[in-house]
Amino acid sequence: MPSEEVGAWAKTKHEYLCRYVDISRGVRSRWLDPGKAGATLIDPFCGPGRCKIRETGEFIDGGVVAAWKKSVEGGKPFSTLYIGDIEPERVEACETRLRALNAPVVSLSGDAVATVKSVLSIANPHGLHVAFLDPYNLQTLNFEMVKDLATLRHIDMLVHVSQMDLQRNLDKYSLGDSSVFDAFIPGWRNSIRAGSIKTTRQAILRYWSDLVGNLGVWPSPEPKLVTGPGNQPLYWLMLAAKNELALAFWRVAANKERQGSLF
């Protein structure tokens, strides 16, 4: 089956996802008793479920597979895994790997926005839901997906926001005819004033955070900055949640070592 080549920092990303899954297992258990609404994991960027570290050739589990294993290890496995990817063969590979681990998986094919809409049409709206949003770039972090997930009563979102994409492509994305920011941060043209590269980047991240918060899903002030081998910033892992306890769990999960401010 296929695997996905990734940088060594993917191991760090999955480590923090698993830390959050493990730390929150006590709360998750309240939704897992017979007759309860269930506790799910939603991954609309699931990939093939297996990764190869390009620097070393090491194979590791994909994010959703690692999270499932951690939930089982903690004795409180998710009641359903909803997975999706724009490439059907990747979804099929991920589903096969999860079913081999006896995971209760529902697979969907299509872009992430369509996947989330499909999940909302079948998931129990009263359940506890964790969404892992791990896109390749800012364009695929479509705000419509975040807005739809925010309609769930109990939702935690662990979001990968690409600092590297923003840093490399800020000029291109901020051109008048670019649609990338229209998808990522709708309304930005009337809300963000251009300044230095640093201040503009900070304004964009703050604006995105405010957009999410306005949905009633509060971004944690404790993001985790993931860096590359030369200590260059790659992306932020941010938790957004409707419950203060979830934000407290993320503070513990994210602060294995002290982090600076997102802005």
Q: Which two tokens stand for residue 38?
A: 């269930």
| pLDDT at residue 165 in the model | 92
> Is 35 within a domain?
yes
The residue assigned the tokens 């935690």 is 156
> Is 192 within a domain?
no
CATH number of the domain within which 31 lies: 3.40.50.150
> Is 18 within a domain?
yes
| pLDDT at residue 259 in the model | 43
| pLDDT at residue 263 in the model | 38
Integer distance in angstroms from the first to the last C-alpha of the chain? 41
> Is 37 within a domain?
yes
> Is 184 within a domain?
no
Residue ranges with strand state E in 18-123? 39-43, 50-53, 59-61, 80-85, 105-109
| pLDDT at residue 174 in the model | 83
Q: How many domains in the chain?
A: 1
Give which of 36, 80, 250, 58 is closest to 159, Cα–Cα.
250
Each residue's pLDDT, cut to its tens digit, for the chain (263 residues) gives 899 999 988 999 999 999 999 999 999 999 998 889 999 999 999 999 999 999 899 999 999 999 999 999 999 999 999 999 999 999 999 999 999 999 999 999 899 999 999 999 999 999 999 999 999 899 899 999 999 999 999 999 999 999 999 988 988 888 766 789 999 999 998 888 877 778 888 899 999 999 999 999 999 988 888 888 788 889 999 999 999 999 999 999 988 654 444 43
| pLDDT at residue 48 in the model | 97
> Is 40 within a domain?
yes
Beta bridge partners of 128: 39, 154
Q: Residue 223 belongs to what domain range? A: 4-162+216-254
> Is 220 within a domain?
yes
Beta bridge partners of 160: 237
> Is 189 within a domain?
no
| pLDDT at residue 261 in the model | 40
The amino acid sitting at 3 is S
